[in-house]
Structure 1
Amino acid sequence: MTQTQRNRLIHTLSLSASKTADGFLDAKLVLSWLMSTLGAPSALIGLLVPIREAGALLPQLVIARVMAGWAERRWMWALGAFGQALGALVIGAAALLLEGTAAGIVICAGLAFAALSRAVCSTSYKDVLGRTVPKAQRGSVTGLASSVGAIAVVAFAALLIVGAERMAIVLAAVFGAALFWMIASLTFTRLKEDPAETEENPAPIAFLDTLRAAPALRRFIAARAALTATALAPPFLVTLDRAGSESWFSGLGALLLASAIAALISGWAWGRVSDHSSRQTLAIAGAIASVTLIAAVFIRVEIAAPLAIFAIMFAHQGVRTARSTHLVDMAAEEDRPAWTAVSNTVIGGVLVLGAGLGVLADNAGTEVTLIVLSAMAALGALLSLTLDEVQTKTD
């Protein structure tokens, strides 16, 4: 086995374990259900997604500055994965020992720690991937890992659908997430990585200067910001489905199953397509999301809601795979940490502002909110077409 093949295998195994843990500890579905069952107040439940998403993105400028002093950055990713395992253990302990507000506070704290640890992983991963896997193979690695990780989540969802002891199954999944992150952490340390150039006293990343000097990065961030519609839409689709629906499609297991099957089917395919053209992949995924959200508003039959959830998860997987591939292929090696941190910081702010969509839904209705999100996705698709074809450029 060549070093490149070995590195690809380690990336796939580590990322598969991490994505499995992500599915087991899904903030939008699993943790919301868990906190609701434990009697936590709605205000705390409403903080889960902002904590999870923004907490993983906003600290990355600071983390990127720290990373500049690390020569072997696989250790940062391994440390971040281990931190996520500790956060999952805190959440599991709270669910076992506490109830009500106390349980909600501790679960949110555990999730915040896991989100900060995830920020370490996110900041370091693209840099390590870019230096250990050739350009034409990077999307395949992340796409395959998404599909492999989804298999475990399908099994989890199936257990929730047919099992009677749902709380026991969810608790087992929470502690299982901790185990998978520990496995991912240990596996990633085996990666063969050439030392990166380091800075003993790295200067703070000049946020505005980085944006001003890189028009390609600005266009990418604008497209990615509009495509956050694929991440923000699922809770509103669930709300729309719950209105008068008592079918099995509305259960936690069915929602997880739709998400996992979408990841399983789309992960490898999106990876291959994004290796060919990440800009076109972003545009296609945005178009799918836009059409799906409009259809969910105007086609009101029972089967439409689960199909919409599947389609939006499919589109979201395409956005996630293509945005990672595009940024890694677009940025020069020395620019990747800063560009990743700046991009993720902006998107973290966008996701915080996305909390305002809940206010819009309360005042104007879920349907209006979905139409707004559809327009955002369509805009993201159009902006994606303005990006460069980075796969035709050489490293």
Structure 2
Amino acid sequence: MLTEKLHAALTDDAVETDRGEARRFVRHLVSLMSTKIADGLIDPKLVLAWLMSAGGAPGYLIGALVPVREAGALLPQIMLARVIQRQSIRKYIWAAGAFLQGAAALGIAAAAVMLDGPALGWTIVACLSVLSLARAACSASYKDILARTVETGARGTVSGAAGTVAASVVFAFAALLAFQIIPLTIGAISVAIAIAGALWIIASLVFAGLDEPADERGEDTLGSLADIIKPLRTDHELRVYILARGLLTATALAPPFLVILAGTDGTGGLGNLGLLMLASSLAAIASSYIWGRLSDTSSRATMMFSGLLAGAALGAAATIGLITGRLEAVWLAPALLFVAQIGYEGVRAARKTHLTDMNTGGQKALYTALSNTLIGVLLLAGGIFGVIANAFGPAVVLGIFAGMSVVGALTASRLSNVQKDA
């Protein structure tokens, strides 16, 4: 069967696998692949920011895109964890979240062709808020579902493989834009966003058919707020994990400041913006699957190495920026972004796999929600870096991010090798 062959090819599983196991793996793969492509097509840092700017939306609404997108997807997860914990079957929570993201994306596409000015800006921010909250439901439920439906040793692989395929599609989209094969118009971007909406809805339908075993513990075991935050007091591994992940958020926050340092913060040429999009996509294509496989071997070592790699790229950008004032050579910013994004992809794969494989005493959803909520607060506070950039320049901010990445990598060295203990 095709599913068994695909499962064996991606996992290097020489032993004949159970047909149900292969089907579950492929459903995860198709669902993740669809949502990751959709994420790339609607990227708030680039696509939605350009769309709102082209449509005459106010600057303060454009500046709200990334905080709404990131914090909105993380902050509600403590509340969602209680709902998830009560469900014996949890795939429908993820499927509903994906469906709502698709509906919100279709709303953005419609607004882009029907509205302009403040009305366009407020409508996109409102739809993005719905999309982010729906994403929170997917994020809070997914690792628990993954841990119960895909075997250890293949979890990072399914995410990495989906990321590689999705990045290839987004890369092709970026290339078509950069070479003006697809015209950079509101209409064309609206079509891309509508396609993203359709992909989320397809992912929802595919995931709803997943063969998920019932969790007989499907009851509310979270208790009071003190019970919810108890793992922070009792689990050293979780505390170190959250600290390392918090420091390594620098790898996610850095790209806009690289864009500013390159002089393409909305006033530069389209060519540079296209090259930056291509560099980001190529980094994901080149590294997602590899990082996923390495994470299945040692998520701790993967987090350490990728954090150091990102820190080196950001440190180089900061140094050049402090000396010259900007990244003037047309190839320099894309090259540095490429390396930094490879590091980011490694951090992303490693922290997901580490939490999935970590021993949580049957509280995977709670651990996921607790860590994501704390990281959401940190990302919301990350708006201070924009103030620092305005006062001292983007090179200073990139220097701070480089330091955070290195310290985050060193902190990750204190984590356990959870794959060895599994």
Classify the TM-score, shorter chain: over 0.9
Preserved CA contact (<8 Å) 1:84 1:118: yes
Question: Alpha-carbon deviation of 1:296?
Answer: 1.2
- 1:203 to 2:203 alignment: no
Q: Deviations over 1:249-297 (max 9, x none)?
A: 522x332222211111111000011011101111111101111011112
Q: Which residue of 1 aligns with 2:15?
A: none
CA distance in 2, matches of 1:202, 1:218: 19
Answering whether residue 192 of structure 2 is matched by residue 165 of structure 1, we say: no
How far 1:207 sits from its partner (Å)?
A: 3.7
Deviation at 1:13, TM superposition (A): 0.6
Q: TM-score, normalised by structure 1?
A: 0.96
Query: Residues 53 and 62 of structure 2 are in contact (CA less than 8 Å); yes or no, is this contact kept in structure 1?
Result: yes
SS in 2 for 1:87: helix
Q: Does 2:315 match 1:294?
A: yes
1:258 aligns with 2:279: yes
Indicate the SS of the match to 2:81. Answer: helix
Partner of 2:253: 232
Q: Does 1:367 align with 2:395?
A: yes
Query: Equivalents in 2 of 1:200, 1:383: separation in Å?
Result: 33
* 8 Å CA contact retained: 2:110, 2:190: no
1:132 is matched with 149
- Aligned-partner residue type, residue 368 of structure 1: V
Alignment partner, residue 262 of structure 2:
241
On the 8 A contact 1:130/1:333 being kept in 2, the answer is no
Please, which moves more after superposition, 239-248 or 266-275? Answer: 239-248
- Contact residue 55 and residue 116 of structure 2 kept, 8 A: yes
State, as a whole percentage, how many aligned pairs show the same letter. 44
Amino acid at match of 2:223: A
Which residue, 202, 207, 211 being the options, matches 1:188? Answer: 207
Give yes or no for contact 2:276–2:333 (8 Å, CA) kept in 1.
no
Instruction: Give the conservation status (yes or no) of the 8 Å contact 1:146–1:264.
Output: yes
Instruction: State the 1:109 CA deviation.
Output: 0.4
Offset at residue 228 of structure 1 (A): 0.1
The alignment yields a C-alpha RMSD, in angstroms, of 1.6
Please tell me the residue identity of whatever aligns with 1:370. Answer: L
Deviation at 1:119, TM superposition (A): 0.3
Retained in 2: the 8 A contact 1:229–1:373? yes
1:275 maps onto 2:296 in alignment: yes
The corresponding residue for 2:196 is 177
Do the aligned residues in 2 keep the contact of 1:24 with 1:173 (CA within 8 Å)?
yes
Structure-1 residue corresponding to 2:82: 65
Secondary structure in 2 matching 1:220: helix
Gaps of 5+ in 1: none
Unaligned runs of 5+ in 2: 5-18, 321-326
1:10 pairs with 2:27? yes
Q: Are 1:332 and 2:332 counterparts?
A: no
1:352 is displaced (CA, Å) by 0.5
